[in-house]
Structure 1
Amino acid sequence: MPYAATTGRSIAAVTLIAAAVLPLTGCHHGGGSRPGAPTRPSAAPRPPAPGDRTACTPEMLRFHARGVRHPAHRMLLTVTNYSDRPCDFAAQPYPLLRLGPGQRAVTPAIGPSDPGTVITLAPDATAYAAVTTAADGASGRGERISQFGVALAPHTAPGQVGLDSGPPVRVNPRTARVTYWQSRREAALKW
């Protein structure tokens, strides 16, 4: 057999082997993929779809509370979303409050304060809830508090929220009520 023919077959064989091995090497190191092979999902976060919902969690929020002068016997609870994504209160539409150590059940909600829509917090947005601290004519009863427990879901341990400023607020846990979350301060304090 002539030398040129043998050399040509050897070069062709080496080229075919190289052509077969290179795609496999690329797959092994993540540089390529075989046709028909499943692809790995991208590590980049996907933007939320319109139907996606993220429940607000304590880690996403900052709470503030203070007594208000008008209307009387009220405390205002505010919550601000300081995360970089929107969240909502669809699962639990009002805060679950523990206003004193002897309180057996969470503070009931004021039913008519339900806004009828889910309150969603965009990043840096704030929601409000008012607490009636005493029933009319019962302001002398109860105890003075400077902090209280707030939970965002049933069967979770409440986090402690302290009053921002001013003296402690007198609260009667047996008669206190809380509004649903509201998107405006005025809407919360009208109850």
Structure 2
Amino acid sequence: MSSNRNRNRIRIRTTVLATGALLAALSLTACGSDTGTDSAKAGAAAPAAHSAAKQSPPPAATPKKAVTDADTTSGTSTDAPTTTTGGTPKRVVPPAQSEPKKTTTSSPRTPSTPNRTPATCTGGNTKTVVSKVNHPINHLLLTVTNTGDRPCYAYYAPKLRFDDAQAVFPILESSLPQAVVTLDPGRSAYAAIGLTGEPGAGPAPRKAAHLQVNFSGRNAAGSTGAPAELTLPAKTYWDDNGYVTYWQTDMADALTF
């Protein structure tokens, strides 16, 4: 009886141990299964996230600034690199490159110069003045001044008419200068008028109030251009024996005759 009891105890103990070991094994299996499931789930989720990351579109590229005339002129590039200061992107502008100077070829300009070709002295480009002198007596002095912008030639002698006289006043041939008198603008020439000849040598002197001065051209015959119309000094008397000199460059030379 005692032996049977012992065997039964051993059998029960063995059964209990076997049952416990089985329960423990089942428990471990269950834990492993849960852990594997979570791992599997995590593993399955990871590729999905990775796949989503690959499919997300890349950030939009910043559009390039359109090239304008100002960019082209100043020599700056629209594709200049950028730098970041304080988190805000800033555009780095390279130093402007100077454009090569354009070489232009132009024909030389002829400077504007006044016409220096001498003209003929006339009443239109001169001013003529008649004045009375103290010495020699019975003389008047004609002064002609170039008022034009180029030289003029005072040819020969002035051709005079007192009042309404028909004949030209006589010219003193001995006063002929060595060369034609040339007047630059602003310069003057002179001629002396001897009003009367030797007393009693001809008709009595006549009083005159007006004098017409005509100018000779290159040809001594006749006159050219407009005449000068002058008022004579008071108490001017003349006769047919008087004379007028050729134009002289010096007033003293004119009054020596």
TM-score (norm 1): 0.65
The CA RMSD measured in Å over matched residues stands at 2.7
For residues 82 and 155 of structure 1, the distance between their equivalents in structure 2, rounded to whole angstroms, comes to 19
For residues 100 and 88 of structure 1, the distance between their equivalents in structure 2, rounded to whole angstroms, comes to 27
Maintained 8 Å contact 1:62/1:81: yes
Return 5+ residue gaps in structure 2 as ranges: 1-109, 217-221
For residues 111 and 235 of structure 2, the distance between their equivalents in structure 1, rounded to whole angstroms, comes to 49
Per the alignment, residue 178 of structure 2 pairs with 116
Task: Extract structure 1 runs of 4+ deviating beyond 4 A.
Answer: 42-47
Per the alignment, residue 162 of structure 1 pairs with 231
1:141 counterpart letter in structure 2 = A
Give the greater-gyration-radius structure (CA). Answer: 2
Per the alignment, residue 127 of structure 1 pairs with 189
Maintained 8 Å contact 1:64/1:162: no
1:126-155 per-position Cα deviation (integer Å, ceiling 9, x unaligned)? 110011100022599222223211110325
For residues 200 and 229 of structure 2, the distance between their equivalents in structure 1, rounded to whole angstroms, comes to 25
Q: CA deviation at 1:63?
A: 0.7
For residues 138 and 44 of structure 1, the distance between their equivalents in structure 2, rounded to whole angstroms, comes to 61
Per the alignment, residue 71 of structure 2 pairs with none
For residues 214 and 165 of structure 2, the distance between their equivalents in structure 1, rounded to whole angstroms, comes to 17
For residues 157 and 148 of structure 2, the distance between their equivalents in structure 1, rounded to whole angstroms, comes to 20
Per the alignment, residue 75 of structure 1 pairs with 140
For residues 158 and 53 of structure 1, the distance between their equivalents in structure 2, rounded to whole angstroms, comes to 19
For residues 148 and 165 of structure 2, the distance between their equivalents in structure 1, rounded to whole angstroms, comes to 34
Q: CA deviation at 1:59?
A: 1.2
1:94-132 per-position Cα deviation (integer Å, ceiling 9, x unaligned)? 10111231332x112111101111101111111100111
Q: Which has the higher helix share?
A: 2
Q: Among all aligned residue pairs of Structure 1 and Structure 2, give the percentage whose two residues are the same amino acid.
A: 30
What is the aligned residue count?
144
Per the alignment, residue 55 of structure 1 pairs with 120
Maintained 8 Å contact 1:135/1:175: yes
Per the alignment, residue 175 of structure 1 pairs with 241
Q: Tell me: CA distance 1:158–1:83, structure 2 relative to 1, closer, same or farther (3 Å).
A: closer
For residues 127 and 58 of structure 1, the distance between their equivalents in structure 2, rounded to whole angstroms, comes to 14
Q: Tell me: CA distance 1:167–1:150, structure 2 relative to 1, closer, same or farther (3 Å).
A: same
TM-score (norm 2): 0.50
